[in-house]
Amino acid sequence: DAGVTQSPTHLIKTRGQQVTLRCSPKSGHDTVSWYQQALGQGPQFIFQYYEEEERQRGNFPDRFSGHQFPNYSSELNVNALLLGDSALYLCASSTTGRQAPGELFFGEGSRLTVL
Amino acid sequence: DAKTTQPPSMDCAEGRAANLPCNHSTISGNEYVYWYRQIHSQGPQYIIHGLKNNETNEMASLIITEDRKSSTLILPHATLRDTAVYYCIATLLDGLTFGKGTHLIIQP
């Protein structure tokens, strides 16, 4: 049973460019959340997608957008990249049938470096 | 999410029980307490959660005080592989708020 998979694992971009990160949730999961983790900090919640719609959003600007596909996979898009967007981007999946909110399964992340 | 406070770092000898404290004095009645850990360069891993009662699973035990203002995560027999950053989160939402956590170092 594959867990949460993310791609690419590492990438380098320059300021002003755009990036797309991809996530496939754990089998049987229908909800995908994205987090940003800067060096030395805990992960910060970006947004969550369920039924192809954004259901919850953290304190991130509109440059951060996402999408969820009918097969539950998801993309995170970041436009007009800034140096401060350099971070590990984590995808987490969950299922609406779980016992309590907050029980998430995380992928290994995509390491983005902005030069 | 309720604010949580954890010590920045702790040491524990291999084979001993590791007890990680967390203060969440402003927790509301329907907020769960979650514990996650993150081993270097990996994604966070769910450990356990609870609402009011103490909980135990194959990884750890969670002890929540009667007034729910604090909790303790217990790793009964710590191994070197338990060295990680441990996060305590109090929330009723899916959008988790991670602090800086406790860096637990298991000493051989």
Could you read off the pLDDT tens digit of each residue along chain A, which spans 115 residues? Answer: 679 999 999 999 999 999 999 999 999 999 999 999 999 899 999 999 999 999 999 999 999 999 999 999 999 999 999 999 999 999 999 987 666 677 899 999 999 999 9
Strand B102-107 relative to strand B9-13: parallel, antiparallel, unpaired? parallel
Q: Residue A16 is which amino acid? A: G
Q: What is the C-alpha to C-alpha distance for residues B27 and A107, in angstroms, rounded to an integer?
A: 28
pLDDT under 50: residue ranges of chain B? none
Q: Do A56 and B94 touch (CB under 8 A)?
A: yes
Cα dihedral: A42, A46, A49, A54 (round 10): 160
Q: What is the C-alpha to C-alpha distance for residues A107 and A6, in angstroms, rounded to an integer?
A: 6
Strand partners, A35: A45, A90
Provide the phi-psi class of A16: left if phi over 0, else alpha when psi is between -120 and 50, else beta.
left
Interface test with A, best of B96, B98, B102 (most A CBs within 10 A): B96
Q: Residue B37 is which amino acid? A: R
Residue in the block written with tokens 């956590």 = B101
Q: What angle do CA B62, B66, B68 make, to 5 degrees?
A: 70
> CA nearest B64: which of B36, B39, B32?
B32
Chain B residues 46-75 with a CB less than 8 Å from chain A: 46, 49, 51
CB-based contacts of A22, cutoff 8 Å, min separation 6: A6, A7, A73, A74, A75, A76
